[in-house]
Amino acid sequence: MKNENTGLERLARGFDNVETIDEYALDADSGELKLIKRRVTTKYVPPDLDAYKMLYGATNFDALTDEELQEEKVRLIKSLIETTKKQSKKE
């Protein structure tokens, strides 16, 4: 379930979405469609908390003490750093 390539994990971490829009026009001479304009946009999709909860289990943060919250914060930051390092090695 914790495969790094799953869409749910990607959604839980946030990602860049690349969208390409091509515009074509009919060439009067040849009668074929010809590419006139290509627009490439990159949009950042922020992390989704619900997806994170589904992957890593929901934690009732209201019931945790300040020390437990601090430990959870450190654990999550370490997990994020590890995931980022793994992604950069793949690229």
Q: Digits of tens for pLDDT over the chain (91 positions)?
A: 445 557 888 888 889 999 999 999 998 888 899 999 999 999 999 988 888 777 777 666 677 788 888 888 888 888 888 888 877 776 6
Displacement of CA 30 from its chain's centroid (Å): 43
pLDDT at position 43 is: 94
CA distance 50 to 63: 19
The SS3 assignment for 65 reads coil
pLDDT at 1: 42
Question: pTM score, two decimals?
Answer: 0.47
